[in-house]
């Protein structure tokens, strides 16, 4: 069939145009709100040449198409239906009341972190590039590239400044994104973020080393510490929520012609004072406890902690709860200068691709699924795992089990070797660029363990009835 005919078949198999209430798309998926999901013919939908897989979550029926093609499918889909065109944010708002409190909290974190993730990933890659240039023993024995080619020193220093900018001003990125999420002014969010890292404040790093050197504001007899919030995540999110709350309530009773004069300063003073006096110290302590607790687990029993985290990494992606750990990684990168959870969890990305590549070899008599397997492998190893998860591995079940086990063993080894990365980096085969070069050997060995176990278990499970899905 032609491209247009395939899109027509997608519409028919989701219950027809009359069953489609609204539609949008993301990087890989067509996201639909349907009148009746029971009208969907999943079997015929998965036979479509354009479809890599389907699943339903949070009130949305999602059809996996793949990067690049999904936008073309969406445009043709909208031409052939009377569906309401909706942005991803509008669709999220429509589904915001669905799910329990934990799911709603995870959704909020995802909506805050995802928009700033490209800046964080770029910073991680640039830090990795700087490590390549400055670390000895990579290209020359006991010498760095800069030691041999001194003319590159200025360029390397510039790269380091660019790379560190995202972490130096991490609170600004978070307040901007959080203000948008909470329905406030992103510009006021930026000002609040700049306030929290103002150079007149003692930085959070200096305070951690010399808490006795902190200075105070005397506010009517109340001593308020002049401490910045560099590298913090949770305090910054709470501060932004206070800012937006104040902004909205001030607009309710200040006349419209006076709002531009009074709303911004009053909201900033209110949110700033409460942050520095109450919210900030409490949430900063809680954030540091979380970070210290995770580090403690990895110090007491690194292999066990890493193995458990590797085991649950793939299921966490399905539930969306991996965004909680994204916040922890950002907190680590901002306060410690390195992250440990991210390299441990990256085994799951490799494993998803390893499982689909193995399924490509197993599914010898199904050209459609072999095609899906191959494209899903490439996508997973470039950091996008949804086609692999929903198109193949969850559908057959046993490859997904192999992914979990393979990730657990690889992550246990990586955690045991105390592998560290500069920050959250790009996923897939290029992930090693964000890992400190001195840890590359351990990281590659851990990834190799994951690959071998995942492939071996996928082949073993395919020849038995263990974990097989009923709809194969």
DSSP 292-305: HHHHHHHHH-HHHH
- Number of residues in the chain: 472
Q: Is the pLDDT of residue 137 over 80?
A: no
The predicted structure's pLDDT at residue 470: 54
Query: For the residues 86-111, what does the mean pLDDT come to?
Result: 65
Half-sphere exposure of 145 (CA within 13 A, CB side): 14
**pLDDT score, position 95:** 58
pLDDT of residue 319: 67
User: How does pLDDT run across 280-338, given as a tens digit for each residue?
Assistant: 888 888 877 877 888 888 888 899 999 999 998 888 887 666 767 777 887 787 777 78
Look at residue 471 and tell me whether its pLDDT is greater than 80. Answer: no
Residue 106 predicted with pLDDT over 80: no
Quote the pLDDT of residue 267.
94
Q: What is the pLDDT of residues 359-386, one digit of tens each?
A: 999 988 777 788 888 888 988 898 878 7
Distance CA(175)–CA(237), nearest Å, equals 7
pLDDT of res. 434: 84
Q: What's residue 89's pLDDT? A: 60
pLDDT band at 98 (very low <50, low <70, confident <90, very high): low
**pLDDT digits 0-9 by tens, 150-166:** 888 888 888 888 888 88
Residue 434: CB partners within 8 Å, gap ≥ 6? 124, 125, 127, 128, 342, 343, 421, 422, 423, 424, 425, 426
The pLDDT of residue 344 is: 92
Q: What local confidence, expressed as pLDDT, does residue 103 receive? A: 64
Coil vs helix vs strand at 280 = helix
What span, in angstroms and rounded, lies between the C-alpha atoms of 262 and 321? 39
pLDDT bin (cut points 50, 70, 90) of residue 87 is low
pLDDT > 80? residue 86: no
Indicate if 26 belongs to the active site.
Answer: yes
C-alpha 2/C-alpha 49 separation (Å) is 10
pLDDT higher than 80, residue 355: yes
Write down the residue that tokens 């445009």 correspond to: 75
Predicted local confidence at residue 238, as pLDDT: 92
- Catalytic choice (17, 21, 26, 203): 26
Give the integer Cα–Cα distance in Å for 174 and 263.
21
Under 8 Å between Cβ of 23 and 75 = no
Model pLDDT, residue 385: 84
Average pLDDT over the chain, rounded to whole?
85
What pLDDT score was predicted for residue 472?
55
Tens digits of residue pLDDT in 402-433? 999 999 999 999 999 999 988 887 778 888 88
pLDDT of residue 241: 94
Identify which of 98-107, 172-181, 376-385 has the greatest average pLDDT: 172-181
pLDDT confidence of residue 179: 94
Contact 434, 426 (CB under 8 A): yes
* 242 phi and psi angles, rounded to 5 deg: -60, -40
187-203 tens-digit pLDDT = 999 999 999 999 999 88
DSSP, collapsed to helix, strand or coil, labels residue 68 as coil
Look at residue 136 and tell me whether its pLDDT is greater than 70.
Answer: yes
pLDDT of residue 192: 95
Lowest mean pLDDT among 12-21, 135-144, 184-193, 214-223: 135-144
The pLDDT, as a whole number, for residue 433 is: 83
């Amino acid at each position: 069939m032609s491209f247009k005919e395939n899109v027509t078949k997608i519409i028919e198999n989701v219950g027809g145009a009359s069953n489609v209430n609204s539609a949008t798309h993301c990087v890989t998926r067509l996201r639909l709100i349907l009148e009746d999901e029971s009208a969907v013919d999943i079997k015929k939908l998965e036979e479509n040449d354009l479809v890599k897989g389907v699943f339903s979550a949070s009130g949305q029926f999602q059809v996996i198409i793949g990067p690049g093609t999904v936008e073309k499918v969406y445009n043709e889909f909208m031409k052939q239906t009377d569906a309401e065109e909706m942005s991803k944010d509008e669709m999220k708002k429509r589904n915001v009341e669905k799910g329990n409190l934990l799911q709603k909290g995870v959704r909020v974190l995802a909506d805050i972190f995802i928009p700033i993730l490209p800046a964080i990933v770029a910073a991680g890659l640039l830090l990795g590039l700087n490590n390549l240039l400055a670390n000895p023993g990579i290209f020359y024995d006991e010498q760095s590239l800069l030691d041999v080619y001194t003319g590159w020193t200025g360029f390397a220093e510039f790269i380091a400044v660019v790379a560190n900018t995202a972490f130096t001003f991490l609170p600004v990125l978070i307040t901007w994104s959080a203000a948008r999420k909470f329905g406030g002014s992103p510009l006021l969010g930026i000002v609040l973020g700049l306030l929290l890292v103002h150079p007149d404040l003692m930085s959070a790093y200096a305070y951690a080393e010399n808490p006795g050197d902190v200075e105070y504001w005397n506010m009517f007899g109340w001593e308020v510490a002049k401490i910045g919030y560099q590298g913090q995540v949770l305090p910054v999110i709470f501060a932004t929520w206070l800012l937006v709350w104040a902004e909205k309530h001030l607009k309710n009773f200040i006349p419209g012609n006076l709002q531009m004069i009074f709303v911004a300063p009053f909201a900033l003073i209110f949110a700033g004072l409460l942050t520095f006096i109450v919210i900030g110290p409490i949430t900063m302590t809680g954030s540091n406890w979380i970070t210290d607790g995770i580090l403690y687990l990895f110090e007491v029993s690194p292999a066990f902690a890493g193995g458990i985290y590797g085991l649950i990494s793939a299921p966490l992606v399905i539930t969306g709860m991996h965004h909680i750990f994204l916040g922890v990684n950002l907190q680590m990168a901002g306060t410690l200068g390195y992250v440990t959870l991210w390299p441990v969890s990256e085994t799951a990305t490799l494993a998803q691709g390893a499982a689909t590549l193995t399924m490509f070899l197993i599914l010898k008599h199904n050209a459609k699924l072999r095609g899906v397997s191959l494209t899903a492998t490439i996508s997973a190893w470039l950091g996008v795992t949804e086609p692999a998860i929903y198109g193949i591995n969850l559908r057959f079940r046993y490859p997904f089990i192999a992914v979990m086990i393979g990730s657990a063993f690889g992550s246990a080894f990586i955690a045991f070797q105390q592998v560290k990365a500069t920050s959250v980096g790009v996923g897939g085969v290029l992930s090693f660029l964000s890992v400190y070069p001195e840890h590359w050997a351990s990281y590659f060995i851990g990834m190799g363990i994951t690959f071998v176990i995942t492939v071996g278990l996928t082949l073993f499970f395919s020849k038995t009835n263990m974990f097989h899905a009923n709809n194969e």
